[in-house]
Amino acid sequence: MKTRFHNPWIRYRTVATVLWSSLVMLASNLNAENAAAPGNPAMGGPTAAQNATSQAQLDKQNATATPLPILEGYTADPHAVVFGDTYYIYPTSDKSEWLTTDFSCWSSKDLIHWKNEGRVLDVTKDLTWAKIRAWAPGIARRNGKYFFYFCAEQKIGVAVADRPTGKFVDALGQPLISPNREFPCQTIDPCPYIDDDGQAYLYYGQGNLYVYKLKPDMITLDGPPAKMTPPRFNEGIFVIKRQGLYYFMWSENDARDERYQVAYGTSTSPLGPIQIPADNVILRQKGQVKGTGHHSVIQVPGTDRWYIVYHRHAIPNGNGYTRETCLGRMEFGRDGQIKPVNPLDAVFPADAKGEPISQSTL
C-alpha cells in the first residue's frame, strides 16, 4: 500500500487562493451597489433630480395622510359656535407678523363643507380706537342679537349685529376692556360664556386669566374681574359645561412654538378654582402637525358628541404666522376626563355625511 505524499504548503496556498477570490467577489458586489446609489447614475442609480422628485412625492403622500384644514387660506384662533341648525367659525385672518385688520365668518351645515360668509368686521374702517392687530374673536347670542368680542391693538372691543354673519357694528365707540396695571396681562383673547342661569361671563387674558361678569346688555362689565390663572396658562381660554362640570381649556407655550398645545382643568363653579387633572394636555404636536392650539369646542345639539376646532402651523412651510384651521373629534372618558386628541386622525370617513343638526333638537 502506497502512502500519498502531503505537502502542507500546497494546501495552505490553495486555501489562501479561495479566500482571496471570495474577497474579490465581495468587493466587486459592493462597488456595484455603490455605483447604483442615489446621485450616481453611472450604473443606473437615480440622479439628484430624480431624488428630489421622489422626495416631493413622499412629502405629498405624507401631506395627504394628514387631515386637511377645514377652511381655505391661512386662518387661526378659530371660535366655533352653533346657532340654530348651522355651525359657525370666526377665525383670525393670518397676515405677516400678526398685522391683521379684519375678521371673517364661515358657516357649515355638516362640519365638512364650509362657506365663507365674508368679512364681518374691518378694524381699519369700523373702529375709531384701533386700526390693526385684529385677533382672536368670540361670539355669543342673547335676545336675538349677536355680540362679537374681539382684540385690536391689545384691547378688547365688542360689536353687535342682528345676524351671525354680520355686519357687526362697534357697540361702544371705545374698548370694552383696556390694559390695566391692577390686572396685569396682555388684554386679548376674549371668550364669552352664558351659563344655564342666564349669567354671562367674559374670560380673557394672555399671561394671566381673568373673568368679568357681564350685565344683561352684554356690553357692560359688572364689577371688577376675578383672577383665575391655572398653572402653565398662556392664552386662548375657552369654556364649556358638561354634566354640571365646567371645563376651562387654554393654550400653553408661545403660538410660534411647535410645542403650542391645549390643556384643561375643571371646576364646579364658573369662577373657579380650577382643578388640574393628571395628564391634562389633550392636543399636542405629532408627526408633521405642529403648533396645535388656540382652539374652541362645539357640541352637536341633542347629543354628547363634541368636536375641537384649532389651528396648526400650515402644512407645508407654515409657522406661527402662517396657520390653518382644523377639526378633531373630542371624547370624554367615564370619569369625565377629556381623552387626548390625535391630530393625525381623520374626523370623518371619505363618504361620510358629517354632523347635520337634527331639526328635532332646535
Question: Which three-class secondary structure state does DSSP give residue 196?
Answer: coil
**121 pairs with which residues across the strands?**
103
pLDDT digits (tens, 9 = 90+) for 75-131: 999 999 999 999 999 999 999 999 999 999 999 999 999 999 999 999 999 999 999
- More confident call, 4 vs 257: 257
Instruction: Determine the pLDDT at residue 31.
Output: 46
Edge-first strand order for the sheet with 226-227 is 191-194, 200-204, 210-214, 226-227
Alpha carbon distance 322, 114 (integer Å)? 20
Above 50 in pLDDT, residue 7? no
Spot the catalytic one: 235, 252, 324, 355.
235
235 flagged as catalytic: yes
120 within 8 A of 168, measured Cβ to Cβ: yes
Question: Which three-class secondary structure state does DSSP give residue 65?
Answer: helix
Question: Which three-class secondary structure state does DSSP give residue 102?
Answer: strand
Instruction: Determine the pLDDT at residue 104.
Output: 98
What is the share, in percent, of the chain residues with pLDDT greater than 90?
80
Q: Which long-range contacts (CB under 8 A, 24 or more apart) does 97-104 make?
A: 97/321, 98/133, 98/135, 98/321, 99/132, 99/133, 100/132, 100/133, 100/134, 100/135, 101/131, 101/132, 101/134, 102/134, 103/134, 103/137, 103/148, 103/150, 104/75
- Write down the mean pLDDT value for the chain: 87
Alpha carbon distance 148, 141 (integer Å)? 9
Above 90 in pLDDT, residue 185? yes
Average pLDDT over residues 326-353: 96
Above 50 in pLDDT, residue 27? no
pLDDT digits (tens, 9 = 90+) for 128-182: 999 999 999 999 999 999 999 999 999 999 999 999 999 999 999 999 999 999 9
- Does this model's pTM top 0.75? My answer is yes
Q: pLDDT class for 358, splitting at 50, 70, 90?
A: confident
258 flagged as catalytic: no
Return the CATH number of 76-357, one of 2.115.10.20, 1.20.120.80, 3.40.718.10, 2.40.10.120: 2.115.10.20
Numbers of helices and strands, H then E, in the chain: 3, 19
How far from 280 is each of 21, 211, 238, 261, 269, CA to CA, in Å? 65, 22, 15, 11, 19
Radius of gyration for the chain, computed over Cα atoms and rounded to the nearest angstrom: 30
Spot the catalytic one: 77, 94, 189, 324.
77
First to last CA, the chain: 113
Domain ranges of the chain: 76-357
**Ranges assigned E (strand) in 46-85:** 75-83
pLDDT digits (tens, 9 = 90+) for 202-216: 999 999 999 999 999
Above 90 in pLDDT, residue 2? no
Alpha carbon distance 106, 73 (integer Å)? 12
327 within 8 A of 345, measured Cβ to Cβ: no
pLDDT digits (tens, 9 = 90+) for 28-83: 444 444 444 444 444 444 555 444 444 544 444 444 568 999 999 999 999 999 99
Instruction: Determine the pLDDT at residue 48.
Output: 54
